[in-house]
């Protein structure tokens, strides 16, 4: 322990920290004051909608009004499929703090809004948004460009992103839009085909389509007939709040495995593709690299289709498979959005409309379960298809088999689960052809959609193949790039050029590039009939690149706020730690010498809460070296409260708990000799058990060698499971890992609260052996449990509590005491049972533990049992008193009641 600072030096340190904290606090205060506050108005807004404007639908809205008191530009903020206005509340607050009037609403068919889900139909959802612009035009808080013409932008992601594009095409009053991770043509997005054939020939994204449809079934009860936007359709049974025509389309697609012309027409109706030329609002297109639902090609097509407005494109590491992406990327997109709105709603300059930014994933942060990225910038958006290096692929013509119904299938990405970390290869032998490059002598960048010519031979048309790229490391391990696969509809034998999904990736020196052509993928629907194919690569793999430079960290007012907040938090924590340490040292008591070797001495411990409830009433007991002490009591007895006071988590009202002679308290140095599990374990599920233990120990600031992990794992007996991710653990494995975590460093006292909670009998038996092995070499264990049979077999001593009071404490044998029950071990239980039942004074005879358990009436001597068995010719192996701890426990509680 470091020596106490001299008083004058200590006072100067504290004063300096306080001054710095005040300065940082004032910085944050004035930064926050520089941002306008806001208030929120929640209300239902009725809109006229439908093809003939004859349907009335109530929309659940929230209006965020900045406190400036002056008319301000407005932002329509739309949510994704399955969401509500609450889904975008965080973004709405950020924009309101920047001084915008923000209107969020729950789209019809979701949440508390009326109507049905028409899938961004121009006659329904788009018309709803136009009516909301009308409504904003009547609000005095909103700045206007003319009568009934509010200055307004539309921002939204996915479902809401397509809505912003469709709205801008339908209503010239929209001044700017920021569509994010959304589609160009919903038909080609859900039924892609890498050789460019129409959606009716595309391959169904079966898993994604099912996920999207399910989102419409989770929105609550279907609307009543009075609130429906259309007449009830008997065919819509089981469709939730989906409109009948959308539901019919979904059922047709599932039945046929591909869309018919009517389905394609419905999906195109809900797509920006036909109307992009009508958009005059400056457009910031944001698309995700981790997105197998709406890949980069969707934003690319939208960018090429908008010809009458400024367009800027940004790619980031998130998407439907990767959420917000890295923290840096999330903030970069927020900054880009704020800058775009500032430029086109407020007229502030400085924005380069046609510049292009994207993220390159440079690593994976296991501790945060997130990717690490570098932002890149180019002068203008070059599109997905550009020139770049050509890489020769080697490999002969290879036969592959297509299974019936696409089963079994390889796994590229399970929709919505994520592709941020390493994605292992899961190809099915005999179903994949592979073609590899030579070892790369320099890094090769891929920024866009790679292309490769192939030749396919097929036994029958109508099959499906999937092309994907792997990065093969020098050790042979391979990673699926971006989790993406390009489906190919095989209409017959012949040559084709396959366009892979857009990606951003760097293949490192010493690695190889592998093209795999597979016959089935779990994310897609496969053909019902089996088939065989031959696959050959007929030319080089062409990898587009972009000349780009690293982008400096974006600036924005929240960055200054975040920096100031971090500084303030660090200073406050530092000040608190210094002051707490000085206070502890100032009042630290000397060690109670006679208890320095006693792991735990509880003396007169009492806890009374403010409402007068007394949880623990003057409890006293000790835990000595080598003991396994069970803390027993019914629910509400005060066991957990006692443990929390022992560990210094809460302060006792009276009394004290001394750990090796030291008073327990927050941050007490003696706690380093204690290992504890109280109120359940908590682990990072994406890390292995070993990584969780290592991270926990490093957080203590002690050297890793002091953790004695190998010895702990030997005691806990976790085996190879220690190397698996915790999310794959059973409840029993998590409990054992929690015990192992408490054992790190082999503390002298182990305190466990209900360690066998939720375990099955074999796991409980194993936990018993773990605790008994631990209490050796002078170590001790205090375990709270309600399983009396386990305590009896595990513990050397028990402490019994009832209603906060100590009822009994001592060795298990003493607590159990003398017993009217006798366990008789005999060689022939069948012959012995009638003999014993006939003995005067015997109440009952029952089979137990390989012998006979005999209950005697009061005063009946035990030798009568031996005499009866010997006279009957039955050999007696043993005769021992038997009383269960449960019997003693219940007797003690009954005594407490009297």
* Per-residue pLDDT reduced to its tens digit, 773-790: 888 777 899 988 776 777
Supply the DSSP symbol for 777: T
- Length of the chain measured in residues: 898
**633 touches 754 (CB < 8 A):** no
Cβ within 8 Å of residue 233, ≥6 positions away: 244
C-alpha dihedral, 823 to 826 to 829 to 832, nearest 10°: -90
pLDDT of 391 higher than 90: yes
Measured CA to CA, the distance from residue 842 to residue 661 in angstroms comes to: 51
Q: Which fold has domain 38-185+273-378?
A: Rossmann fold (3.40.50)
If you average pLDDT over residues 875-896, what whole number do you get? Answer: 64
Mean pLDDT, rounded, of the chain? 82
pLDDT at 207: 81
pLDDT tens for 306-323 read 999 999 999 998 888 877
Pairing mode, strands 311-316 and 356-365: parallel
Q: Which of 498 and 881 is assigned the larger pLDDT? A: 498
pLDDT of 666 higher than 70: no
Measured CA to CA, the distance from residue 361 to residue 828 in angstroms comes to: 74
pLDDT of 265 higher than 80: yes
Strand partners, 342: none
Structural domain 593-815, CATH architecture:
3-Layer(aba) Sandwich (3.40)
Supply the DSSP symbol for 666: T
Pairing mode, strands 494-507 and 486-490: unpaired
Residue 366 burial (CB count, 10 A) = 15
pLDDT at 3: 40
Query: What sections of 242-326 are H helices per DSSP?
Result: 244-256, 261-269, 296-305
pLDDT at 572: 57
Is domain 818-882 in CATH 3.30.390.30, yes or no? no
pLDDT of 885 higher than 80: no
Helix (H, G, I), strand (E, B) or coil at 328: helix
| Alpha carbon distances (Å) from 258 to 293, 319, 493, 763, 830 | 17, 25, 21, 50, 72
**413 touches 206 (CB < 8 A):** no
pLDDT at 221: 47
- Residue 631: burial class (beta carbons within 10 Å; 0-12, 13-18, 19+): buried
Cβ within 8 Å of residue 352, ≥6 positions away: 312, 379
- Residue 349: burial class (beta carbons within 10 Å; 0-12, 13-18, 19+): exposed
- Residue 771 binned pLDDT confidence (cut-offs 50, 70, 90): confident
pLDDT of 556 higher than 50: no
* Whether the domain at 390-544 and the domain at 593-815 fall into the same CATH topology: no
Q: How far is CA 732 from the centre of its chain?
A: 21
Q: Where are the beta strands (DSSP E) in 779-897?
A: 780-784, 797-802, 805-811, 821-826, 842-848, 851-856, 876-881
- Residue 123: burial class (beta carbons within 10 Å; 0-12, 13-18, 19+): middle
pLDDT tens for 145-182 read 999 999 999 999 999 999 999 999 999 999 999 999 99
Q: Which among 504, 461, 131, 462 has a CA at the least distance from the CA of 291?
A: 504
Measured CA to CA, the distance from residue 456 to residue 402 in angstroms comes to: 13
From 11-25, 165-179, 309-323, 805-819, the region with the lowest mean pLDDT: 11-25
pLDDT tens for 135-147 read 999 999 999 999 9
Query: What sections of 306-384 are H helices per DSSP?
Result: 327-346
- Phi-psi map region of 443: left, alpha, beta (phi>0 left; psi -120 to 50 alpha): beta
**467 touches 500 (CB < 8 A):** yes
Cβ within 8 Å of residue 11, ≥6 positions away: none
Output the DSSP codes for 719-744.
GGGGGSBGGG--HHHHHHHHHHHHHT
Measured CA to CA, the distance from residue 229 to residue 53 in angstroms comes to: 11
pLDDT of 28 higher than 50: no
In 580-610, which positions are buried (b, 16+ CB within 10 angstroms) versus exposed (e)? ebbeeeeeeeeebeebeebbbbbbebbbeee
If you average pLDDT over residues 713-735, what whole number do you get? Answer: 80
Output the DSSP codes for 186-215.
HHHHHS--TT---GGGS---HHHHHHHHHH
What value, to the nearest 5°, has the Cα angle with vertex 293 and ends 290 and 296? 60
Is domain 390-544 in CATH 3.40.50.920, yes or no? no
Measured CA to CA, the distance from residue 493 to residue 465 in angstroms comes to: 13
Element (DSSP H or E) covering residue 793: helix 788-794
CA pseudo-torsion sign 503, 509, 515, 520: negative
CA atoms within 13 A on the CB side of 860: 21
Cis peptide before 893 (omega within 30 of 0): no
pLDDT at 570: 58
pLDDT at 555: 41
Element (DSSP H or E) covering residue 563: helix 557-587
Domain range list for the chain: 1-34+556-588, 38-185+273-378, 196-269, 390-544, 593-815, 818-882
Measured CA to CA, the distance from residue 258 to residue 264 in angstroms comes to: 10
Q: Which among 601, 602, 596, 603 has a CA at the least distance from the CA of 660?
A: 596
| Alpha carbon distances (Å) from 705 to 26, 328, 640, 716 | 44, 34, 32, 18
pLDDT of 5 higher than 50: no
pLDDT at 17: 55
Residue 406 burial (CB count, 10 A) = 23
**597 touches 623 (CB < 8 A):** no
Q: How far is CA 129 from the centre of its chain?
A: 33
pLDDT at 431: 93
pLDDT at 10: 52
Measured CA to CA, the distance from residue 868 to residue 836 in angstroms comes to: 7
If you average pLDDT over residues 177-193, what whole number do you get? Answer: 93
In 781-795, which positions are buried (b, 16+ CB within 10 angstroms) versus exposed (e)? bbbbbebbebbbebb
Helix (H, G, I), strand (E, B) or coil at 427: coil
Q: How far is CA 202 from the centre of its chain?
A: 33
Q: What is the pTM of this model?
A: 0.61
pLDDT of 416 higher than 60: no
pLDDT tens for 214-231 read 777 655 444 444 445 455
**753 touches 721 (CB < 8 A):** no
CA pseudo-torsion sign 85, 91, 94, 97: negative
pLDDT at 233: 52
Measured CA to CA, the distance from residue 170 to residue 225 in angstroms comes to: 30
From 523-532, 555-564, 679-688, 702-711, the region with the lowest mean pLDDT: 555-564
pLDDT at 33: 45
pLDDT of 506 higher than 50: yes
Q: What are phi and psi of 155, to 5 degrees?
A: -130, 135
Q: Which of 371 and 618 is assigned the larger pLDDT? A: 618
The counts of H helices and E strands in the chain are: 21, 38
**411 touches 531 (CB < 8 A):** no
In 285-306, which positions are buried (b, 16+ CB within 10 angstroms) versus exposed (e)? bbbbbbbbbbbbbbbbbbbebb
Longest CA span, the chain: 115
pLDDT at 420: 38
- Residue 366 binned pLDDT confidence (cut-offs 50, 70, 90): low
Cβ within 8 Å of residue 478, ≥6 positions away: 425, 470, 471, 472, 514
**753 touches 695 (CB < 8 A):** no
Strand partners, 532: 401
Cβ within 8 Å of residue 30, ≥6 positions away: none
Q: Which among 683, 679, 767 has a CA at the least distance from the CA of 722?
A: 683
Cβ within 8 Å of residue 680, ≥6 positions away: 738, 757
């Amino acid at each position: 322990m470091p020596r106490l600072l001299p008083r004058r030096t200590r006072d100067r340190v504290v004063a300096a920290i306080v001054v710095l904290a005040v300065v940082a606090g004032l910085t944050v205060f004035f930064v926050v004051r520089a941002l306008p506050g806001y208030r929120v108005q929640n209300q239902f807004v009725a809109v006229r909608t439908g093809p003939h404007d004859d349907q009335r639908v109530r929309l659940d809205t929230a209006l965020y009004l900045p406190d400036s008191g002056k008319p301000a530009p407005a932002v329509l903020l739309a949510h994704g499929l399955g969401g509500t206005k609450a889904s975008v509340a965080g973004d709405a607050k950020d924009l309101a703090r920047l001084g915008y009037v923000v209107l969020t609403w729950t789209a019809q068919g979701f949440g508390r809004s009326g109507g049905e889900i028409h899938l961004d139909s121009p006659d329904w959802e788009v018309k709803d948004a136009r009516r909301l612009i009308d409504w904003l035009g009547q609000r005095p808080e909103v700045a206007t460009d003319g009568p009934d013409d509010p200055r307004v932008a539309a921002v939204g992601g996915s479902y809401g992103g397509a809505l912003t594009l469709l709205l801008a095409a339908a209503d010239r009053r929209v001044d700017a839009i920021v569509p994010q991770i959304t589609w160009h043509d919903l038909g080609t997005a859900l039924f892609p085909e890498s050789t460019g054939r129409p959606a009716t020939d595309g391959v169904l994204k079966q898993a994604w389509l099912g996920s999207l449809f399910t989102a419409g079934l989770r929105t609550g009860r279907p609307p009543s007939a009075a609130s429906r936007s259309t007449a009830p359709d008997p065919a819509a049974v089981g469709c939730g709040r989906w409109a009948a025509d959308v539901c019919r389309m979904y059922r047709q697609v599932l039945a046929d495995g591909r869309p018919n012309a009517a389905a394609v027409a419905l999906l195109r109706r809900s797509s920006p593709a036909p109307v992009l030329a009508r958009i005059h609002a400056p457009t910031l297109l944001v698309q995700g690299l981790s997105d197998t639902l709406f890949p980069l090609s969707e934003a690319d097509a939208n960018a090429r289709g908008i010809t009458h407005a400024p367009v800027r494109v940004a790619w980031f590491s998130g998407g439907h498979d990767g959420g917000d992406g890295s923290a840096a990327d999330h903030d970069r997109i927020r900054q880009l959005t704020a800058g775009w709105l500032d430029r086109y709603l407020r007229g502030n300059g400085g924005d380069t409309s046609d510049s292009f930014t994207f993220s390159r994933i440079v690593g994976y942060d296991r501790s945060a379960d997130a990717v690490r990225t570098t932002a890149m910038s180019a002068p203008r958006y070059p599109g997905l298809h550009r020139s770049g290096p050509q890489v020769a692929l080697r490999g002969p013509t290879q036969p592959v088999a297509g299974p019936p119904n696409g089963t079994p299938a390889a796994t590229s990405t399970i929709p919505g689960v994520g592709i941020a970390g390493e994605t292992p290869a899961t190809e099915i032998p005999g179903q994949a052809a592979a073609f590899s490059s030579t070892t790369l002598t320099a890094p090769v960048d891929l920024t866009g959609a790679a292309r490769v010519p192939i030749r396919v031979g097929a036994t029958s048309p109508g099959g499906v193949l999937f092309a994907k790229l792997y990065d093969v490391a020098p050790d042979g391990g391979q990673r699926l790039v971006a989790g993406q696969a390009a489906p190919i509809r095989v209409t017959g034998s012949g040559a084709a050029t396959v366009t892979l999904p857009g990606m951003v990736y760097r293949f490192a020196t010493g690695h190889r590039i592998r093209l795999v052509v597979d016959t089935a993928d779990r994310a897609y629907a496969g053909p019902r009939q089996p088939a065989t194919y031959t696959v050959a690569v007929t030319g080089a793999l062409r990898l587009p690149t972009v000349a780009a430079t690293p982008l400096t960290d974006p600036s924005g007012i929240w960055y200054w706020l975040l920096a100031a907040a971090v500084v303030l938090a660090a200073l406050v924590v530092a000040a608190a730690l210094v002051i707490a340490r000085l206070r502890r040292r100032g009042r630290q008591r000397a060690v109670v010498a006679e208890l320095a070797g006693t792991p735990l001495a509880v003396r007169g411990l009492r806890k009374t809460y403010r409402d007068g409830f007394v949880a623990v009433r003057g409890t006293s007991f000790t835990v000595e070296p080598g003991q396994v002490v069970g803390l027993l009591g019914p629910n509400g007895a005060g066991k957990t409260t006692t443990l929390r006071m022992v560990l210094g988590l809460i302060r006792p009202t009276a009394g004290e708990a001394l750990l090796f002679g030291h008073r327990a308290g927050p941050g007490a140095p003696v706690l380093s000799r204690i290992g504890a599990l109280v109120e359940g374990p908590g682990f990072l599920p994406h890390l292995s058990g070993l990584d969780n233990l290592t991270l926990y120990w490093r957080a203590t600031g002690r050297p890793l060698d002091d953790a004695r992990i190998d010895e702990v794992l030997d005691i806990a007996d976790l085996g190879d499971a220690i190397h698996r991710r915790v999310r794959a653990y059973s409840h029993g494995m998590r409990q054992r890992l929690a015990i192992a975590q408490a054992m790190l460093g082999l503390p002298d006292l182990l305190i466990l609260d209900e360690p066998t909670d939720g375990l099955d009998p074999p796991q409980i038996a194993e936990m018993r052996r773990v605790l008994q092995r631990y209490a050796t070499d002078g170590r001790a264990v205090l375990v709270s449990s309600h399983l009396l049979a386990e305590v009896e077999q595990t513990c050397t001593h028990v402490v019994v509590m009832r209603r906060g009071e100590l009822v009994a404490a001592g060795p298990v044998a003493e607590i159990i005491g003398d017993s009217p029950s006798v366990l008789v071990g005999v060689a022939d239980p069948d012959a012995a049972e009638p003999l014993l039942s006939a003995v005067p004074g015997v109440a009952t005879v029952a089979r137990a533990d390989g012998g006979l358990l005999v209950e005697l009436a009061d005063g009946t001597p035990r030798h009568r049992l031996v005499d009866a068995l010997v006279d009957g010719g039955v050999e007696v192996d043993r005769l021992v008193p038997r009383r269960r701890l449960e019997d003693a426990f219940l007797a003690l509680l009954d005594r407490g009641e009297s």
